[in-house]
Amino acid sequence: MQKNQIGASNLGRFSGLLSRLWFLVLALVVYRIGVYITLPGIDAVTLSQVMEQQGQQGGISAMINLFSGGAFEKMSVFMLGVMPYITASIVIQLLSVVYSPLEQLKKEGEAGRRKMTQYTRYMTIAFGLVQGVVYSIAIMNGGFVNAELVVIPPVLFVSLSTLTLVTGTMFLVWLGEQITERGIGNGISMIIFASILMGIPSSVAFLFETATTQGGAMWLLLVVLFLLVFAVIFAIVFIERGQRRITIQYARRQQGRMMSLGNQTNHLPLKLNMSGVIPAIFGSAFLSFVYTISTGLSKINVPELTDADTGLWGSFSYYVSLTLNKLGFYGVKYFSIGQPAYMILFAALIIFFCFFYTALQFNSKETAENLKKNGGFIPGIRPGIHTSQYLDRVLTRITLWGSLYITIICLLPELFNGISPVQMYFGGTSILIAVVVVMDLVTQIQALLMSQQYESLMKKANISSALNGTPPNF
């Protein structure tokens, strides 16, 4: 009897956590069901046959497909994923630095945050419309798959598919908000994590199939590949936990007749990677956009310049088509995964957004002013502007190392693919996102367990004190 009571109390203690976990699982199941719903107007049978013939492919298209959880190759209603929302969020944050009305909204607390969230949704719709039109035209013209897939009139297909893609993106944004509120972890991050997780088994199966077919040294390369993945995961966990702790001392203060303890020593923790995975996500999204546009431009048909078309309009259309075709050709050639131009641009984008996003997250002047108001100071540094300059110097140094760390993690698989016949289809960006999301998820689960345990202990303390004749202390 006593054991049953203990089990029931434990179940009640963790009921909140279990309900949140169940909501997270059910939300991700709904997301995965939507991945298999094809866009209206597409011949699903022909699409499945074409994708089965093409098999596993590399390049940026494989990276886009990995981020979308397979929705890209299935041309489903979730083909855009949450990338328009991420791009809109970053653009709104960029504008909040240079546009004063948005900067004022950031300082208005909860009301300002809701207003900025509303603006982000509007911009998400705008980005989704542009990207949906581009993707619809590319599908119709065979930009992604060299096959006739559209079975309805072109204008109707572009309209329906664009509306469906934007609706799918906004549904995922709403689903992510529900996960954040009623589930565990950040909803958008969990959707991206689920997309990456669902793409890994097929990539691993393809690697084992390749090693089984070729045999010999391929098994050794496969072992080296998995050791490299585990080493990257260990490095991510180790560095993401790294902090630079700046010593803060508080002077003794007197408030009325009460003398505070004073002379207390505390620490200001500065993470080595304060920007998280935002630079890697935005860099990947930008390069994916460049590659998609280049692919579409490379398929433009250049008309032949005959004697009958030597007029002004004929010459103009010929040279414009030729220029756009060449731009697309060189874009696909030089900005594919593994190319030097791709890696240089990717590294530059990561480093830039590491510094920029860190500057958005941490305001050294505001931190220095808060320390000065509360009687805190850094030993050996004067309060005020000198403290702000010192924090800027420290933050610049650790952000430089953090940006180099993210760059190495994201480009290391590409370097491995360049020298090895075994291709790593789950790149460094996806591994970085997956590991960071899992670490954040574990932290939130631990915090939730601690809060529930604390609440149960407080209830037991109040009940026991009431039974002993003393009133509960609320």
DSSP state, residue 308: G
Q: Within 10 A of 231 (CB to CB), how many other CB atoms are there? A: 11
Q: Which CATH class is domain 215-251+265-467?
A: mainly alpha
Q: Tell me which of 166-170, 259-263, 375-379 is least confident.
A: 259-263
Task: Give the pLDDT confidence of 340-364 residue by residue, as tens digits.
Answer: 888 888 889 889 888 888 887 788 8
pLDDT (average), residues 280-288: 77
pLDDT (average), residues 1-15: 51
List 250's β-bridge partners, or say none: 264, 376
What is the CB-side half-sphere exposure of residue 76 using CA atoms within 13 A? 20
What's the pLDDT at 412? 79
Angstrom distance (rounded) from CA 354 to CA 345: 14
What's the pLDDT at 474? 41
Q: Are the CB atoms for 437 and 193 separated by under 8 Å?
A: yes
Query: 163 CB contacts (<8 Å, ≥6 apart)?
Result: 132
DSSP state, residue 303: P
The pair of three-digit structure tokens given for residue 282, joined into one six-digit string: 């935005």
The pair of three-digit structure tokens given for residue 74, joined into one six-digit string: 């299935």
pLDDT above 90: percentage of residues in the chain = 6
pLDDT band at 8 (very low <50, low <70, confident <90, very high): very low
H or E element: which one contains 34?
helix 15-35
Angstrom distance (rounded) from CA 330 to CA 326: 6
Q: Is the pLDDT of residue 369 over 80?
A: yes
The pair of three-digit structure tokens given for residue 93, joined into one six-digit string: 């944050």
What's the pLDDT at 125? 92
Q: Is the pLDDT of residue 123 over 50?
A: yes
Q: Is the pLDDT of residue 189 over 80?
A: yes
Considering the chain, what is the average pLDDT of its residues? 77
Pairing relationship of beta strands 243-250 and 376-377 according to DSSP bridges = antiparallel
Residue from 222, 235, 256 nearest 420 by CA: 222
Q: What are phi and psi of 45, to 5 degrees?
A: -65, -45
What's the pLDDT at 175? 92
| Architecture of domain 29-214 in this structure | Orthogonal Bundle (1.10)
pLDDT above 70: percentage of residues in the chain = 75
Q: Are the CB atoms for 365 and 358 separated by under 8 Å?
A: no
The pair of three-digit structure tokens given for residue 370, joined into one six-digit string: 């808060």
At position 49, the amino acid (one-letter code) is Q
Q: Is the pLDDT of residue 323 over 60?
A: yes
Q: Are the CB atoms for 87 and 451 separated by under 8 Å?
A: no
Q: Are the CB atoms for 452 and 17 separated by under 8 Å?
A: yes
**Which residues belong to CATH 1.10.3370.10 in the chain?**
29-214, 215-251+265-467
What's the pLDDT at 2? 47
Buried b (16+ CB within 10 A) or exposed e, 389-420: ebbeebbeebbeebbebbbebbbbbbebbeeb
Residue from 25, 33, 29 nearest 74 by CA: 33
What's the pLDDT at 87? 80
Q: Is the pLDDT of residue 132 over 80?
A: yes
Which residue bears the tokens 């990947």? 284
Residue from 374, 303, 294 nearest 341 by CA: 294
What's the pLDDT at 30? 92
Q: Is the pLDDT of residue 303 over 60?
A: yes
What's the pLDDT at 12? 53
Q: Is the pLDDT of residue 281 over 80?
A: no
Query: 261 CB contacts (<8 Å, ≥6 apart)?
Result: 252
Q: Tell me which of 104-113, 120-129, 256-265 is least confident.
A: 256-265
Which residue bears the tokens 């009139």? 153
What's the pLDDT at 53? 59
Residue from 3, 176, 185, 211 nearest 82 by CA: 176
What's the pLDDT at 199? 73
Q: Are the CB atoms for 425 and 417 separated by under 8 Å?
A: no
Q: Within 10 A of 68 (CB to CB), how many other CB atoms are there? A: 25
Angstrom distance (rounded) from CA 360 to CA 193: 24
pLDDT (average), residues 412-419: 72
Which residue bears the tokens 């995964």? 337
H or E element: which one contains 424?
none
Top mean-pLDDT range of 55-64, 136-145, 159-168, 447-456? 159-168
Residue from 405, 400, 395 nearest 432 by CA: 405
What's the pLDDT at 292? 67
Angstrom distance (rounded) from CA 248 to CA 376: 6
Residue from 443, 407, 468, 435 nearest 229 by CA: 435
What's the pLDDT at 6? 46
pLDDT (average), residues 190-212: 78
Q: Which residue has the higher pLDDT, 184 or 144?
A: 184
Top mean-pLDDT range of 2-6, 14-18, 19-23? 19-23
The pair of three-digit structure tokens given for residue 158, joined into one six-digit string: 């572009």
